[in-house]
Amino acid sequence: MDHILREKAMQAQVCYEDLLERTGIQPDVKVIFNVNEDEQRLMKQACFRDNPFPGVVKAVLLKLRLAAVNKLFRAEKVLQTGPAAAILALDAALAKEIGAMRSGKEAGGEVLCDVGLAGLQVVRLYMMAYGGSKEFAKSRYQSATRVDNALNGSFYKYAAKDGRAFSAHVYYESQKARIMKTLGIAKDPDKFVLASLPFDKKTTARAVAKWNAQELEEQVFADGACGCMLRTRDEWEAMPVGKAVCEMPLYRFNKVKDAPVKTFGTPDVKKGPLSGVKVLDLTHIIAGPVCTRLLAEYGADVLMVRRGDYLHQEQAMLELDGWAGKNSIQLDFNVPEQLEKAKALVKEADVVVCSYQNGALDKFGLGAEGIHTLNDNVIYASMVCFSDTVWKERPGWAPCAEDITGLSVRNGSLENPVNLNGVPLDYIPGMILCSGVLKALQRQMTEGGSFTLTGSLTRGGYWLHECTDRWEQGPRGVKTSVVREKLDAPLWNSVLQTVPGTAVGDVRFPSPATWFEGQGDVLNNMRFHDGRTGFSG
C-alpha cells in the first residue's frame, strides 16, 4: 500500500475526530477511508487526455494540472488532503442520516471516502473538461487568459518598500481596474492579461515597491479590492481580525427563531437523501458554490441566480465546477419585477446560500435579516472571507486567506512563501459550510426552527493550522473510522466522470470522493441547465 496515501488516510482519521469534537456532531455511521495507489497514474492520464484548451493556455493548464496531481501524492507541510477527506466524510455521513430520518429507518451503515479523490476535490478547478459548445469554449478561454495576470497573488508576490511581501487577489475585471488605479498603473485593464504577463509583472513590481506593505493593504481594501501583506501565523493571531477569526467556531450556527418542524417527505431513492429540499443559490466563484454543489450531489433541488446564462459568464474558468447540479434563473435585482421574483423564490426555499461580499445584497432586502423576514422557516448560510465581526464587510478570496493567515509562510518560508495545492481555502470552507447546512436540516426535522450560519475562508484556513498541529503532536488512538485498501464503489472506476447534456454541452467532472448506500444517481444530479423560471419541483 502506498505509504503517502496511507499516511494521509491516517491524517484524515485525526482530522475527522477533530471535526466531531469541534462541531459536537456524532453521526451514527461508520466511516471508512479508502486508499488506492493506482489513482496517481489515472489522474496523470486524465491531465493529458481531457485538456480542452488550445495553444499556450493548453500548456499552462497541463503544467498546473500535473503539478497539482503530483503534490497529492507527496507529504504536505500543511495538511489539506486529510482535512478535505475528513469534512467530505462528515458531509456524507450527515446526508446519509437525513435520508434515514426521512425514510423512517434507523441510522447506521457505512460511508466510504477515497483519500486520493478527496485530495482531487481541492484541485477540481484545473481538472474539468467539456465539449459541444464553441461559445462556452471561447468564454472559458477568455476567462483563463484574464485571470492569469500579474495581479494573481496565487502565483506572483511582490516586495514592498519596507521589504515585506504583498500579494494582490482579483478575479473580476472591476476589481482589477480598482487595484490598478490604486497602484497607479495606467494601462487599459482589458490588456493586462496573460499575453502581456512578463511586462506587467515588472510594472506591478515597480508600483508595489513605492508602498509599505501594510499601508498598501489598507488602501487596496479601502478602494474596494483585495490584497494583503503576507504574515506569519503569530502576526495573524495578534491582529484584531485574526483574534476574531480564531475565536469563531468552524461555522457560526444560530437559531434565529422557533418554527414548525419540517418533514420534507420520503426521499426519491433515485435522486438521493436531499431530494425535494429547495436550495436558492446566491453564490459565485468557488467557495459558496462548493457548498451548494455538494447539496445538489445529495439530491437537493438547487436553483442558482445569475444575471446572465452559463455560456457567457465572466469567470467561466473558475466557476464551471460550481455550476454542477444547478439549474439557473437569470435575474437582475435592479429590475423591480425581477427582484420581486427573487423574493418569491426566497419564500419558497428551504435553504438560501450566499457568498457575495457581506452587505452587498442588503440594499435589495436579500441580506440575512431580509431573508428571514421573507421566510420565517429558512436556513440562511453565508460565506465571508474574514470574521463575522471584524473586517466582516471586506472582500477577500481564498489565496488571500492563505497569505494573511500565515499558511503560505508555513508552507514555505517568510522569504519564500508558497501557496497550498489548488485552492483549498475555497473548497474546504465550502465543504465545512455544507456540514452546517446539513446539521441545520437535521435540527429542522427534529425540533424545528429558522437558522443562520456563517462560514469563513480564513477560519477554514486556520483549521488547517490546527489540523497540522494536531498531527504533529504524534500518534493517537482513533475510534471513529478505519482505513482500508482498494475498496470498490460506484463512480470510482474513473477519476473523471462524464455528465452529458448540460447547458454548456458534455462536461467531465472529478469523481465524488464519497459513497454510501442511498446516495442516489450522482451523475444525473450533476446536470445543469439555464433559463429556468423556478425550482424543479
Q: Domain coordinates of the chain in residue numbers?
A: 3-143+239-525, 158-229
Asked if 130 contacts 136 with a C-beta cutoff of 8 angstroms, the reply is: yes
> pTM for this one?
0.97
Classify domain 3-143+239-525 by CATH architecture.
Answer: 3-Layer(aba) Sandwich (3.40)
Pairing of β 505-510 and β 514-516: unpaired
Q: What is the pLDDT of residue 1?
A: 43
Tell me the backbone φ, ψ of residue 382, rounded to 5 degrees. -135, 160
When pLDDT is cut at 50, 70 and 90, the band that residue 40 belongs to is very high
Pairing of β 505-510 and β 496-502: antiparallel
Q: What is the pLDDT of residue 132?
A: 78
Proportion of the chain above pLDDT 70, given as a percent: 99
Whole-angstrom distance, CA of residue 453 vs CA of residue 288: 12
Mean local confidence (pLDDT), 475-486: 89
Q: What is the pLDDT of residue 2?
A: 57
CA atoms within 13 A on the CB side of 114: 27
**Which residues, 6+ apart, have CB-to-CB distance to 344 below 8 Å?**
none
Whole-angstrom distance, CA of residue 282 vs CA of residue 361: 10
- Return the residue matching grid coordinates 485538456: 51
Q: What is the pLDDT of residue 50?
A: 86
Whole-angstrom distance, CA of residue 42 vs CA of residue 63: 16
The rounded mean pLDDT for the chain is 95
**Which residues, 6+ apart, have CB-to-CB distance to 407 below 8 Å?**
78, 233, 401, 419, 420, 425, 461, 464, 465
| pLDDT over threshold 60, residue 236 | yes
| pLDDT over threshold 70, residue 247 | yes
Q: What is the pLDDT of residue 3?
A: 87
Span 158-229: which CATH code?
3.30.1540
Q: Collapse the DSSP code of 65 into the 3-class scheme (helix H, G, I; strand E, B; otherwise coil) and give the result.
A: helix
pLDDT in tens, 52-104: 888 888 998 999 999 999 999 999 999 999 999 999 999 999 999 999 999 99
| pLDDT over threshold 60, residue 257 | yes
Cell of 106: 434507523
pLDDT in tens, 144-180: 999 999 999 999 999 999 999 999 998 889 999 999 9
Mean local confidence (pLDDT), 441-459: 98
- Return the residue matching grid coordinates 423564490: 345
If we measure between CA atoms, which residue out of 73, 89, 88 comes closest to residue 8?
A: 73
Mean local confidence (pLDDT), 488-504: 95
Rg (CA), the chain: 22
Cell of 76: 504536505
